[in-house]
Structure 1
Amino acid sequence: MRRDGDRLRFVGAATRRIARGIDLDEIVMGLCRATVPTFSDAILVYLRDPLPVGEERPSGALVLRLRRTDRIPEEPDTDGGTMPALQVQTDLVTTAELCEVRPGGALAEVLRGVRPVFADAPAARAALPDLLGDGRTVPSGQRAILAPLRGRRRVIGAAVFLRRPDRPAFENDDLLVAAQLATHSALGIDKTVLYGREAYIADELQRTMLPETLPRPTGVRLASRYLPAAETARVGGDWYNAIPLPGSRVALVVGDVMGHSMTSAAIMGQLRTTAQTLAGLDLPPQEVLHHLDEQAQRLGSDRMATCLYAVYDPVAHRITIANAGHPPPVLLHLGGRAEVLRVPPGAPIGVGGVDFEAVELDAPAGATLLLYTDGLVESRLRDVWTGIEQLRERLAATAQLTGPDHPPPLEALCDDVLDMLGPGDRDDDIALLAARFDGIAPSDVAYWYLEPEDATPSRARRLARSALERWGLQELNDSVELLVSEVVTNAVRYATRPVTLRLLRTDVLRCEVGDDVPQLPRLRQARATDEGGRGLYLVNKLARRWGATRLSTGKVVWFELNHS
């Protein structure tokens, strides 16, 4: 009974040690450390190569690879020499081996049987040379146990437990112990491999849905960072985006789906796509969050996320922000002062039945807005508000290094922010989006309202010419007058309200014509007999870039030209 009690206590301790492993190597190491030297003097662990995942059906021959070995160290004998830990060939427990399991062979039969067997059993005696290779053998008698490792659906490997000849041989009850160790190890390995594949797929899914590159809108510079969670936390649902809007504006978005799973990554993708579609409609920030909230409720009752949506206007030097339960942004002013913006917190999207509020704030030239997810400021070691204050202090300290008149480089600023993370601060994913506001000076903007009448195209040409002369861009007169005339003519043909004409001088010359007709123009090839239909063809040929965007109040057609 005492020996039985010892075995039960050993099995309990060993299985707990195996279960503590969180990845494949830790589980295999847990099996080895729990076994040697208490149960055996050496162990060899073989696993399928490659390991199958879930319902996946392995193709090709069954191949086992020696994954890990462990043994007690060699001990000095009474004559001052060393006593080998095992009276077997030395490289048996040190050399990695590959073993192809022949269908119908002795090793295949033992693995199919699932139950552990003594090495001197007829089946094992024939199987072990195949497993160990080169005709290697193990000590005679019941000094070794061959235990198949079977996962939920198939054999995934084998373990060989070995004892020295000077130690008591294995008994029948030890086969039960070996079976318990093999079962717990195999199920743990099976689960870890499956979870690892799921985490890999979720991580790839999340990364493919994040923008590969950020746009380069007029009047603002952008930088971003994304860091996955630590290995223990795995994949979350953080995302960010920057979306150019009509009128040289840009939408800045950051969000965080609650939870860490492939489902979180998939929901993140759906909400990100929805936000991008809503941004294309040029809805106010609070309306975007309202529609995101409705979409989250359609996805399920527990599909919640936080989100912050901001629209920056470089002409007005203003930013409009609406928040849905997300940490507030931090604004780093040109003089070095870092400010946590007072934005109504709102409820997370997915809660339903709540209104979202937008605030409009100054966005002075040279300032930097930092949007982030809570993984940057919250961890097991600090609460979110402590983290936000540390972030504010870090930004202010970084700005002091470059002086009050020179904001820190944007990419370096992002890296410096991430350097504030300590060893215990990676519990969650981190998404970071930084926007440096350059703005567009009023002297570089020309804006007019034009009545939709026959004389409007000629007036638009004169106004555009005068603006170009003021800016010293007379070399563009012919191209701009032609293109402005064509676009304005198309606008006044159907408009019922005043048409807007705006010219912006930045690194390019941008022209924007807005009207109250929602239908977007389409480029087509005019026939030789057609009297019209060549306007957009000319725009497409002469402009550096052009496009048309539908608004809630109509549309904007724009084009850009290079200038010296």
Structure 2
Amino acid sequence: MPTTVGPHEFLDASSDAAAVLSAEGDVIGWTRGAEALLGRPAAAVLGRPAARLLAMRVDPARAAGVAERCRSGMGWSGLVPVRHHDGRSVVVDLRVSASFRIDGAECFLLSAREQRPQWAMGQSVLDGFLTRSPIGMAVMDLELRYVWLNDTLEQFGGVPREQRLGRRLSELLPGLQGSTIEALMRKVLATREPVTDYEYLGWSWSDPHRQRAYSTSFFPLVAPDDSVTGVCYLVSDVTERWTARQLLSMVNEAGTRVGTTLDVLRTAQELADFAVPRFADFVIVDLLEPVLSAEGHGAWLTDAGPAPARPVMRRAALRTVREGSPEAVAQVGDTVDFLPPPHGVDLLISGDAVLIPELDPEDHLWITHQPERAARIREFGLHSLISVPMRARDTTLGLTTFARSRNPASFQSDDVLLAQELVARAALCVDNARRYTREHTAAVTLQRSLLPQVLTGGTALDVASSYLPADATGGVGGDWFDVIPLSGARVGLVVGDVVGHGLAAAASMGRLRTAVQTLADMEMPPDELLAHLDDLVLRLGDEGNAAAAVAGSTDTFVGATCLYAVYDPVGRRCTMARAGHPPPVVVTPDGHAYFPEIPAGPPLGLGGMAFEATEIELAEGSLFGLYTDGLIEGTDQDVELGMARLRAALASPGTDLDTLCTAAVQQLVPVPQPDDIALLLARTQALGADQVVSWDVPVDPAAVAEVRAKAVRQVAEWGYGELAATTELIVSELVTNAIRYAEPPISLRLLRDSRLTCEVADASSTAPRLRHARSTDEGGRGLFLVAQLAHRWGARYTGAGKIIWAEQEIPGG
């Protein structure tokens, strides 16, 4: 018998085929769903009796009874066979609505859906499904005691079914977070809301040393009277998923904890620190000796042919769970030869990781051959081991070994994968550190070789210097300084800073320092020297840009700053000019410190702008300091505050110059900085009146003899009688040339400091030229003789003309 339904149920026809019938049983409405169900278009059905669609004999009495029920306001439903357009019979679940009217005519709404056969499952099949399901299942009563469980759940915990039934989880498996799980069950009983996918760690009695991960879901069991009779929970073993997630998490964390610095030993120690105790109880990192060498060309290349038969390794890092690392036979820094089987060099070059799940000192010859190592293994219970070769970029670096002692679980294949990943990441960091150390050492060596090894200010200046390279993270910079002896007892002081860091900056610094020395030897005044240096920097920049374009690089030489000063001890005058560099600091003999006002000038490399020189007078005993910006910037990057600190640090009259220089740098820069730091201090001296003599020379050839005689007498008075003849010839040639070819006024000056200097000044700007006279020439040998007799000679230009000078070495000076 078809079942009847209430009027509210048959209106749910969202997925049904529908039709409207008139009181006479004719079809007056046909939906697309009906067309799809029976394959009959609306044109073939509308206006025709619905009885023609039935696949059974029409029962008029039954049809009348259904119609009467629908007219009373009720509905009807039942299974009815209907005929498809292709002739086959389709059983549909037919629903007829209560009658209603359209334009006053009585109508009925019919909806139908195909009735497909359902699978009938026997009780034996259901029991087998529940019992042998790969998911653990259990039913607990209201007191959370086991009522039923399947075979899978019994295997998970390792507790027999007979021991579980009638007892609670917390009583049987306390290690499985029993209290927490029971709290979740009580919540489900109270709220009737299921809890899904709760993960926790546990263990099994069959393998109590290895943790397992489980995912559990809970839902209430409700009786027909809507009362809660218990709770059911489902358990699945998700150890592989959990392990993969943990391994990924550990590897990601290792990426942030290992390799934080560009230091080989620090990186190796970070690997050991990270792995203990979360992964192993004892970790050692042994690196090949070349990896740790200062030269740093590193290790064996994997494809570079045969390696040494016996590798020389050194312990780079060590970490254990025990205080003092008693398990270790060798400590950090010791030479080691630890290689597990196969213990040949091939393990390091191309071998895979070595896994020894059960480490027995009595079963491994490579252990028994070293009694001390075997004794440590037995004493501290090292029972499982993994050794992973450390390789990166086809380069063999060393070996990392993990061992367990307190952790009772042996290493498994999954642990090898994690160990390999940790070592691979650390190997890249070690190789980066090795390469950086090698390049940094080369750059620092180059940089120091390009800086002056010995500084001397002659009798004009006492000098001291301090240089600190940038820290390892910043790389070497291009700071430099120099003290250049000049003619007339003068001294040139220079300090500069090349933009950028690295080998390129150090090489550019060396080129600029050489250029400054060359230009200073040409006796150029400071402003002209900077102008020529600016042209050189522009040319270097063009060359660098062209080379970078060819190589596809972005590293170019972009500029520099510089300050050049010339101190004359005769007049105690200092002439200086700067190109974008901080001004010098001057400390008077009474301790007053100040910064002279000097036009800043543009940095070198911009071109098209002039430099301006400034001259100041320095009292004897004044302190003159040149420095680079790294000294005054500090950690706060406040240049004005740094200059104030520098001024205060140098305002210490009477302090030894070397001590003052070192103390000032330590005070201003107590920690390593990312920029180079250079400080050059000079304490001024003055040439006394008894060290300088000068005469005016009339423009008369007859005056040569008189001036020559005065010079010889003065040299004799100074006690340099052995230089009298040479001085006489030099004075005679220089004064004669000035009278013949130069313009008045003409003067002669003798200076006595570390050398004896003869200077002839005139108002002409014509440069002298050394000539090699032929044997038939009557003249042209004057300057040639001067060059042969003097230690050095040259010319420099002044605002009033030029000066020709010649120096002689003082015997015993």
Q: Cα offset for 1:23? A: 0.7
| 1:439-478 CA-partner distances (Å, limit 9, x unpaired) | 2245643234546764343132133256568xx54x5468
Given that residues 299 and 396 in structure 2 are in contact (C-alpha distance below 8 angstroms), is that contact kept between their aligned partners in structure 1? no
Q: Cα offset for 1:259? A: 2.2
Q: Specify the SS of the correspondent of 1:225.
A: strand
1:411 aligns with 2:658: yes
Equivalent residue for 1:488?
732
1:431 aligns with 2:671: no
Equivalent residue for 1:548?
793
Residues paired across the two proteins, number? 531
Amino acid aligned to 1:308: L
Measure, in 2, the Cα distance between the counterparts of 1:221 and 1:562.
23
Equivalent residue for 1:404?
none
Selected match of 2:558 from 281, 303, 312: 303
Selected match of 1:118 from 350, 355, 378: 355
Given that residues 320 and 358 in structure 1 are in contact (C-alpha distance below 8 angstroms), is that contact kept between their aligned partners in structure 2? yes
Given that residues 97 and 132 in structure 1 are in contact (C-alpha distance below 8 angstroms), is that contact kept between their aligned partners in structure 2? no
Selected match of 1:18 from 258, 261, 283: 258
Equivalent residue for 1:360?
615
Given that residues 488 and 513 in structure 1 are in contact (C-alpha distance below 8 angstroms), is that contact kept between their aligned partners in structure 2? no
Measure, in 2, the Cα distance between the counterparts of 1:309 and 1:384.
21
Selected match of 1:290 from 526, 531, 534: 531
1:384 aligns with 2:639: yes
Unaligned runs of 5+ in 2: 1-240, 302-306, 542-555
Q: Cα offset for 1:121? A: 11
Given that residues 383 and 405 in structure 2 are in contact (C-alpha distance below 8 angstroms), is that contact kept between their aligned partners in structure 1? no
Equivalent residue for 1:99?
337
Equivalent residue for 1:374?
629
Selected match of 2:275 from 7, 18, 35: 35
| 1:243-283 CA-partner distances (Å, limit 9, x unpaired) | 11222221100111122212111111011001111111111
Mapping for residues 82-231 of structure 1, pairs under 5 Å: 90-92=327-329, 96-99=334-337, 106-113=343-350, 115-119=352-356, 129=366, 143-164=384-405, 167-231=408-472
Measure, in 2, the Cα distance between the counterparts of 1:424 and 1:166.
42
Inter-CA distance 323–2: structure 2 relative to 1 (3 Å threshold): same
Q: Cα offset for 1:337? A: 0.7
Inter-CA distance 100–179: structure 2 relative to 1 (3 Å threshold): closer
Measure, in 2, the Cα distance between the counterparts of 1:258 and 1:352.
16
Equivalent residue for 1:81?
none
Unaligned runs of 5+ in 1: 76-84, 400-406
Q: Specify the SS of the correspondent of 1:43.
A: strand
Measure, in 1, the Cα distance between the counterparts of 2:369 and 2:504.
43
Measure, in 1, the Cα distance between the counterparts of 2:700 and 2:369.
92
1:518 aligns with 2:768: yes
Q: Specify the SS of the correspondent of 1:344.
A: coil
Q: Percent identity?
A: 33
1:503 aligns with 2:753: no
Q: Cα offset for 1:534? A: 10
Measure, in 1, the Cα distance between the counterparts of 2:695 and 2:368.
85
Inter-CA distance 142–172: structure 2 relative to 1 (3 Å threshold): farther
Q: Specify the SS of the correspondent of 1:159.
A: strand
Given that residues 520 and 549 in structure 1 are in contact (C-alpha distance below 8 angstroms), is that contact kept between their aligned partners in structure 2? no
Given that residues 63 and 101 in structure 1 are in contact (C-alpha distance below 8 angstroms), is that contact kept between their aligned partners in structure 2? no
Inter-CA distance 310–130: structure 2 relative to 1 (3 Å threshold): farther
Measure, in 2, the Cα distance between the counterparts of 1:408 and 1:483.
40
1:316 aligns with 2:556: no
Q: Cα offset for 1:211? A: 1.5
Residues 546-555 or 385-394, more deviating: 546-555
Inter-CA distance 164–540: structure 2 relative to 1 (3 Å threshold): same
Measure, in 1, the Cα distance between the counterparts of 2:655 and 2:579.
30
Inter-CA distance 265–175: structure 2 relative to 1 (3 Å threshold): same
Q: Cα offset for 1:427? A: 3.6
Given that residues 708 and 731 in structure 2 are in contact (C-alpha distance below 8 angstroms), is that contact kept between their aligned partners in structure 1? no
Amino acid aligned to 1:197: R
| 1:167-188 CA-partner distances (Å, limit 9, x unpaired) | 2222322222112111111111
Selected match of 1:3 from 243, 257, 265: 243
Mapping for residues 248-263 of structure 1, pairs under 5 Å: 248-263=489-504
Given that residues 755 and 809 in structure 2 are in contact (C-alpha distance below 8 angstroms), is that contact kept between their aligned partners in structure 1? yes
Equivalent residue for 2:517?
276
1:339 aligns with 2:594: yes
1:49 aligns with 2:296: no
CA-based RMSD of the aligned residues comes to: 3.9
| 1:72-111 CA-partner distances (Å, limit 9, x unpaired) | 1279xxxxxxxxx9xxx94557594522989x97533333
Selected match of 1:461 from 700, 708, 712: 708
Q: Cα offset for 1:141? A: 11
TM-score (norm 2): 0.58
Q: Specify the SS of the correspondent of 1:355.
A: coil
Measure, in 2, the Cα distance between the counterparts of 1:189 and 1:425.
23
Measure, in 2, the Cα distance between the counterparts of 1:312 and 1:283.
13
Given that residues 27 and 185 in structure 1 are in contact (C-alpha distance below 8 angstroms), is that contact kept between their aligned partners in structure 2? yes
Measure, in 1, the Cα distance between the counterparts of 2:771 and 2:367.
74
Equivalent residue for 1:235?
476
Q: Cα offset for 1:426? A: 3.5
Question: Larger RCO: Structure 1 or Structure 2 (Cα < 8 Å, ≥ 6 residues apart)?
Answer: 1
TM-score (norm 1): 0.82
Given that residues 521 and 548 in structure 1 are in contact (C-alpha distance below 8 angstroms), is that contact kept between their aligned partners in structure 2? no
Given that residues 43 and 162 in structure 1 are in contact (C-alpha distance below 8 angstroms), is that contact kept between their aligned partners in structure 2? yes
Given that residues 106 and 127 in structure 1 are in contact (C-alpha distance below 8 angstroms), is that contact kept between their aligned partners in structure 2? no
Q: Cα offset for 1:480? A: 2.9
Any runs of at least 4 consecutive aligned residues in structure 1 with deviations exceeding 6 A, and if so which? 55-59, 125-128, 137-142, 530-541
Q: Cα offset for 1:560? A: 4.7
| 1:207-239 CA-partner distances (Å, limit 9, x unpaired) | 112212123433322222222233443422111
Measure, in 1, the Cα distance between the counterparts of 2:783 and 2:769.
16
Inter-CA distance 126–183: structure 2 relative to 1 (3 Å threshold): farther
Amino acid aligned to 1:416: A
Given that residues 378 and 425 in structure 1 are in contact (C-alpha distance below 8 angstroms), is that contact kept between their aligned partners in structure 2? no
Equivalent residue for 1:80?
none
Inter-CA distance 497–536: structure 2 relative to 1 (3 Å threshold): closer
Inter-CA distance 112–215: structure 2 relative to 1 (3 Å threshold): closer
Given that residues 381 and 425 in structure 1 are in contact (C-alpha distance below 8 angstroms), is that contact kept between their aligned partners in structure 2? no
Q: Specify the SS of the correspondent of 1:246.
A: coil
Measure, in 1, the Cα distance between the counterparts of 2:368 and 2:707.
86
Q: Specify the SS of the correspondent of 1:364.
A: coil
Q: Cα offset for 1:299? A: 2.0
